[in-house]
A and B are shown apart, each in its own frame.
Chain A
Amino acid sequence: MTSLRPVAGRLQPRPALDAPDLLAGPVRAALVSLPDHLAARCAVAEIDPALADTAALCERYQVPLHASANCVVVTGKRGGVQRWAACVVLATTRADVNGVVRRRLDVRKASFAGQDEVVERTGMEYGGITPLGLPAGWPVLLDAGVAAADELVVGSGLRRSKLLVPGAVLAALPGAEVIEYLGRANHD
């Protein structure tokens, strides 16, 4: 059977709400709290947890790199207060942490949050970090290309599955902000 979802490659997606065991707790909660018509457009596919990282995933499951989005957690301090944000960029680009993200967070220096800290604060597995279900109050910064995408492969909060979601769902998340040049091309 061929998939009706052009970006799915060899992934075998099914409705995300029907497979709660393939979603991390906070991700499941975020999906349930979405408006029904948006939640219905989200699918989940089981994968080999060893292939959760983007490059390996795209190669093995034949997902186009431009249909895969990475979610990185960025943090910085201002006046002794630590600020957090998630950045979602297409896998063909990299987040401009030191430029637009640093200015948006209004911190002196922005950096990737450490793996342990991210796992602890999000309740998601490293390699499965996703914009859905992040802690309340975190800005979810989306590259314009992410928000405009018909469908993207993103994390599910777990290493053993991926979500397929329209960019419009990500743009409708609490805290979502579309930033034109969040992602910078890999070559410059």
Chain B
Amino acid sequence: MLEYLDLYVFEILYWAAVPVGIFAFVHAMLQRADAYTAADKLTKPAWLGITGGACALLLLNLVVPGSMLFYLIGLVAVLVYLVDVKPAVTEVQRGPRW
């Protein structure tokens, strides 16, 4: 079994990316539309498209063998949302902190 360890690890990473992607899409959906402009990001429909499309790619990767490139593209898009857009959009709606 140990000789296939790398495959198991990849399989876990493939599956784990899907809920992360869905979280990003749902989060994008729940933000007010003018917060994206206020935070100097692409529009809300644009980010819904990006995170939604990324979810589709991540799911595709689970059913189509050898589509790791889709996985990487989807994962990068989701991570850009979570690391860059989400904090900015959240902060611009939160009001100032000391």
Contacts and interface: CB of A to CB of B under 8 A. Distances in A.
Interface string A78-104: 001010000000000011111100000
Interface stretch (A22-30, A44-52, A107-115, A127-135): A107-115
A76 B96 contact: yes
A186 B37 CA distance: 8
B16 interface: no
B37 A184 contact: yes
Given A186-B43, A187-B43, A188-B43, A94 B95 contact: no
A111 B33 contact: no
Residue in B32, B34, B91 with the greatest tally of chain A CB atoms within 10 Å: B34
Q: How large is the interface on B (under 10, 10 to 19, 20 to 34, 35 or more residues)?
A: 10 to 19
A75 interface: yes
Contacts of B36: 94
Given A112-B38, A187-B43, A188-B43, A94 B93 contact: no
Interface of A: 70, 72, 75-77, 80, 82, 94-99, 107, 109-114, 117, 184, 186-188
12 contacts: A77-B98, A96-B40, A97-B37, A110-B38, A110-B92, A111-B91, A111-B92, A111-B95, A112-B34, A113-B95, A114-B95, A186-B43
